[in-house]
Amino acid sequence: MRIGLFVPCYIDAFHPEVGVATLELLERFGLDVAYPRDQTCCGQPMTNTGCHAESAATEELFVRNFTGYDYIVAPSGSCVHHVRCDMDAVEQTDDVRQVRARTYELVEFLHDILKVDAFPWAEFPHRVSLHNNCNALRGLNHASMSELREPAFSKPADLLSKVRGLEFVHISRPDECCGFGGTFSVFEKGVSEKMGYDKVRDHSSAGAEYVVSADSSCMMHQQGCAQRLEMPLKFIHIAQILNGARA
Amino acid sequence: MSGAQGGDLNRNPPRPDRLDHAEGASVPLRSHVREAQPRGAVINGNHPIDQAEAAERFIAAPEHERMHDARLWDLRQKRDRQMHGIAEWEDLRRLASEIKEHALTHLDHYLEQFEANARANGIHVHWAQDADEHNAIILSLLRDHSVKRLIKSKSMLTEECGFRDFMAESGIEVVETDLGERIQQLDDEAPSHVVVPAVHKLRSDVAAVFARTLGTDPDDDDVHYLTEQQREKTRPLILDAQAGLTGANFVVAETGTFVVCTNEGNADLSANTPSLQIASIGIEKVIPRLEDLPVFVRLLSRSALGSPITQYTSHFRGPRRGGELHVVLVDNGRSERLGMEQFWTSLKCIRCGACMNTCPVFRRSGGLSYGATYAGPIGLIIDPTFNRHRYSSLPFSSTLNGSCTNVCPVRINIHEQIAGWRKVLAETHELPLMKKVMMREAGHLLSHPALYRAAIATADSALKHLPRFMVYNRLNTWGHGREVPAPPRQTFHEWYAKNRPTGQGEPT
Ligand code: SF4
C-alpha cells in the first residue's frame, strides 16, 4: 500500500511536529509512506473566499503531486474536506476524481481503513477536551452531530480511548464552531476572536489540561486566543498523542 | 459549564421544574448593568453592508452580547430536547423538504388551485408582483374602507415591502400587535430575528423605549410591569382599529385556506377585531393538502423555540359574517429565485429562525448587524437575491460550519449555498479589490512550488505568507486579539529532507 503524505501549508511551517508524528505513526503500521516534495496546498483558501478560478492551478498541482498513490493521508479534516467535497475548480479528469476519492484524513484512515485496534506505545496521562473541526464533524462525519437525531459515535474519541491514562472532559457546547473559519478569521476578526475566547473558556471550565484535535488550524486560532487570555491551556494534535507523545 | 455533563445525547441541562413559556428563557438572564443598546449596521445608500463592523460594536456591548448569545443558545438547547422526544424527527425533516420541493416545482398549479378554492370560500385574492404593488393594493383597500388605523401582526413579508414606512407616508396609522414587534415599532427599529424580533434588547432597553414612547417609569424594568403598561396603552388602539393585517405561515391549496401560528394570539386579534381582514402572503407558502400541514406544525415551533407547538394555530377559511377577507399573494423576487439552479431551495424556508439560533456568528452579532430584512444564515442566502451589491459581503459573515443546515427543519443546504454565493459574487465582480488581489497572489504562489518554498524560507517571511496566506498580511488582523504562534525552527519539508533522505517523495 503506497501512501502519499499531504502536510498542509500551516502544519509544514508552524507545526512541523504534527507532520513528523503523522509520518512516524503511519510508518509504525508498516506502510510505505512518501512525501511528494512539490506539494503546497489544496486550494481551500481561495475557494473559501469564492475565488475558484484563482484556485484551479493549485488544485491541479495537488493532483499532479498525488496521482498514483493508493491513499493520500493528511492530518487535517479541513483540507481533506476541501479535496474530497469541494475541489471542483480544476477540470474533473480521471486522475482528479481518483485523487479526490483516495484522500483521507488521518483519523478516518486509522479508524475506517486500517481499523487500528490498539496503540500499545501510546500513553497520555492528562485530562483532554476533544475539539472537532466543523468540516471534519459535519463534512467528513468524524462524529455524530448534536443537531441531528442520530446514534452517538465519535471516531477520534474511539481512537483516543485506546490511549492509556487519557481522561476526557466534556465542554458545554461541544459542536460549537471555534471561529477560525479560514479567511473568516481575518475578514471578520471581531466575531472570530469572540468565538475563540468563548471556546477556550469552555475548555478551561470543563477542567481540560489539553485540547486535542485532528485539525491544527482551529487549534492555532484557539491557542492564540488562550494565550491572549493568559490561560494555561495546552494544545496537541491527535497524531502526536497516537504516536506516543506523553505531553 | 461543567465537566460533569456526559458526552452523549443526554448532554442537555436538566429540565426546569416549571413549564417553559414558549418564548421565555429557561434560565434567568437578568443583567445588572445598564449599558446602551448597540445599534445595527450603518446603511449608506447602496454601499455594501459592513456586517463585521456592526458585529464588533455589538460585541463591544458585553451585557447585550452575553444575554443574546445565552438566550438564543437556550432556544437551540430546547430545540434539541424536542428533537430527542420525536423518534421520527429526521424522517419528518425529509418529508417536509419533499413536500416543499414538490409544491415549489408545481407552484403555478397549486397557487391557481388555492385561488379558485379561496374565492369559492368568499376570500378576495389579489396578486402583487413586487413590494410596490403589494403596498398599493393594500392602500387602496384601506382607502376604500376609510381606514385610519390598521392593526397588524408580525410578518416578514411586510418588512420586505417597507410596509410600515409606506403606511406612515400615506397617513395610515399602523399598530403592531406582537409584543416584540411593537417594541421594535416604538423604537423605530426593524425586527432583529424572524421569531423573536426584540431579542437583542435587554429589559432595560425596553424600559427606556417605553418610558420615551408610553410614559412608563424608566427605572422600572420589571417584565410584568412593562408588559402590562404596554397592554393598557395599546389595547384601546387595537379595539377601535378599522382593519387588521396578518401574514401566513402556510397556505393550503386544496382547501383554499391559510394558517397563522403565533404564541400571543395576536394574529387572531388582528384578524378578528376589525371587520376588514387582509393577509399578505408570499407565494412560496403554499402546500398542497391539509394532510401535509401537520408535518410542518410538528416541526415549526419545535425548531423555532423548542416548544411542541405554538400556542395558537389559527385557520382562516373565509370572511367573518358581515366582514371582508382579502389575501394578497406576493412574488417580490420569488419567481426569479425559483429559477436560480443553486439557490431555489431557499424558498422552502418556513421562517422558524432555528438557523439563527444555532449560528455562532448571529448569536454574537445581533440580527440588526446584517442591515437586511433577513438576518443570519437564511439571510445570507436570500438577501443577495434582493440586492446583490448591497448585500455582497453578507455571505462572508459565516464560518461555513454547517450547523444551520443541520437544524433546518426543511433541510435547506444553507452553508453550501453560502459558499455558492461567494463564488457567484467573485465571478460577478462583487468582491472587494483587496480580497481579490490577495487571492490572486495566493493562488499564484501556491501553484508554484519553488516560489512558495522561497516565500516561506525564513521564519519572518513565513509569518508574512502563512497560514492561509493572509493571516499575517500587512493588516495584521490575526495579532489583534490573538497571540501569533512562535516561528518554527525548521519546516516539515526541511525535516523530511534531513531525516528521510532516501524517501521516494515521487509518485510512481
Ligand atoms: S432556513 Fe431553515 S432553519 Fe432557517 S429560518 Fe428557514 S426553515 Fe428555519
**Tens of pLDDT along B206-224?**
999 999 999 999 999 999 9
- Which of these three, A113, A144, A177, is where a domain ends? A113
**Tens of pLDDT along A143-190?**
999 999 999 999 999 999 999 999 999 999 999 999 998 888 888 889
A7 plus A106 within the same structural domain: yes
A21 plus A108 within the same structural domain: yes
Shortest CB distance from A176 goes to which of B360, B406, B477?
Answer: B360
Pocket test for ligand 1, best of B104, B352, B403 (most atoms within 8 A of CB): B352
Domain presence at residue A200: yes
Q: What single letter denotes the amino acid at residue B279?
A: A
Q: What is the pLDDT, as a whole number, of residue B26?
A: 66
Q: What is the pLDDT, as a whole number, of residue B392?
A: 95
| pLDDT band, residue A18 (cuts 50/70/90) | very high
Domain presence at residue A75: yes
Over residues A201-224, mean pLDDT: 95
Domain presence at residue A73: yes
Domain presence at residue A119: no
CATH class, B86-332 region: alpha beta
A145 contacts in chain B (CB < 8 Å): 406
| pLDDT band, residue B446 (cuts 50/70/90) | confident
Q: What is the pLDDT, as a whole number, of residue B467?
A: 45
**Tens of pLDDT along B355-367?**
999 999 999 999 9
Q: How far is CA B253 from CA A178, B284, B289, B358, B378, in A?
A: 44, 12, 6, 32, 26
A70 plus A166 within the same structural domain: no
CATH code at A213?
3.40.50
| pLDDT band, residue A7 (cuts 50/70/90) | very high
Q: What single letter denotes the amino acid at residue B103?
A: A
The pLDDT of residue B14 is above 70:
no
Contact B429/A at CB under 8 A? no
- Which of these three, A83, A113, A143, is where a domain ends? A113
A154 plus A86 within the same structural domain: no
Domain presence at residue A120: no
ipTM of the complex: 0.95
Residues in chain B: 508
| pLDDT band, residue B31 (cuts 50/70/90) | low
Q: How far apart are CA A75 and CA B285, in angstroms?
A: 45
Q: What single letter denotes the amino acid at residue B484?
A: V
| pLDDT band, residue A115 (cuts 50/70/90) | very high
Q: Which residues line ligand 1 (CB under 6 A)?
A: B 349-355, 378, 407-410, 412, 414
| pLDDT band, residue B393 (cuts 50/70/90) | very high
Percent of chain B with pLDDT over 90: 75
Shortest CB distance from A172 goes to which of B5, B424, B446?
Answer: B5
| pLDDT band, residue B477 (cuts 50/70/90) | low
| pLDDT band, residue B482 (cuts 50/70/90) | confident
Strands B250-252 and B257-262: antiparallel
CB atoms within 10 A of CB B117: 18
Domain presence at residue A247: no
Q: What is the pLDDT, as a whole number, of residue A35?
A: 96
Contact B1/A at CB under 8 A? yes
- Which of these three, A78, A113, A148, is where a domain ends? A113
Taking Cα atoms as reference points, which of B192, B148, B197, B198 lies closest to residue B170?
A: B148
Q: Are B340 and B385 in contact (CB under 8 A)?
A: yes
B302 contacts in chain A (CB < 8 Å): none
Percent of chain A with pLDDT over 90: 85
Residue B350 CA: nearest ligand 1 atom is: 7
| pLDDT band, residue B504 (cuts 50/70/90) | low
The CA angle A160-A161-A167, to the nearest 5 degrees, is 90
Range(s) of the domain holding residue A85: 2-113
Q: What is the pLDDT, as a whole number, of residue B451?
A: 87
More confident residue, A124 or A13: A124
* Buried residues in B443-460 as b, exposed as e (16+ CB within 10 A): bebbbbbeebbebbeebe
Over residues B218-239, mean pLDDT: 93
Least confident range from B194-203, B380-389, B442-451: namely B442-451
Give the helix/strand (H/E) hosting B425. Answer: helix B414-427
Q: Are B90 and B407 in contact (CB under 8 A)?
A: no
B446 contacts in chain A (CB < 8 Å): 9, 40-41, 43, 45-46, 57-58, 61
Q: Are A239 and A232 in contact (CB under 8 A)?
A: no
| pLDDT band, residue A98 (cuts 50/70/90) | very high
Q: Are A5 and A34 in contact (CB under 8 A)?
A: yes
The CA angle A30-A133-B476, to the nearest 5 degrees, is 110
**Tens of pLDDT along B33-88?**
789 999 999 999 999 999 999 999 999 999 999 999 999 999 999 999 999 999 99
Residues 443-482 of B with CB under 8 A from A: 443-447, 449, 452, 456, 462, 466-471, 473, 475, 477-478, 480-482
The residue ranges of every structural domain in chain B are 46-85+347-430, 86-332, 434-499
| pLDDT band, residue B455 (cuts 50/70/90) | confident
Q: How far apart are CA B210 and CA B215, in angstroms?
A: 6
**Distance between B94 CA and the closest CA of chain A, angstroms:** 12
Strand partners, A220: none
**Tens of pLDDT along A180-205?**
988 888 888 899 999 999 999 999 99
Taking Cα atoms as reference points, which of B161, B195, B134 lies closest to residue B378?
A: B195
Cell numbers at B88, concatenated: 421520527
Cβ–Cβ of B8/A152 closer than 8 Å?
A: yes
Shortest CB distance from A220 goes to which of B9, B419, B467?
Answer: B467
CATH class, B46-85+347-430 region: mainly alpha
Q: A-B interface: how many C-beta pairs under 8 angstroms? A: 296
A80 plus A172 within the same structural domain: no
Least confident range from A14-28, B324-338, B479-493: namely B479-493
Cβ–Cβ of B467/A9 closer than 8 Å?
A: yes
A7 contacts in chain B (CB < 8 Å): 492-493
Over residues B311-332, mean pLDDT: 95
Domain presence at residue A210: yes
Count of domains observed in chain A: 2
* Buried residues in B298-314 as b, exposed as e (16+ CB within 10 A): bbbbbbbbbbeebeebb
Q: At what angle do helices B51-59 and A189-205 cross, to 10 degrees?
A: 40
Q: What is the pLDDT, as a whole number, of residue B490?
A: 85
CB atoms within 10 A of CB B480: 13
Percent of chain B with pLDDT over 70: 88
A18 plus A71 within the same structural domain: yes
Domain presence at residue A122: no
Residues 23-82 of B with CB under 8 A from A: 51-52, 55-56, 59, 65, 69, 73, 80
> What's the mean per-residue pLDDT of chain B?
89
Cβ–Cβ of A147/B490 closer than 8 Å?
A: no
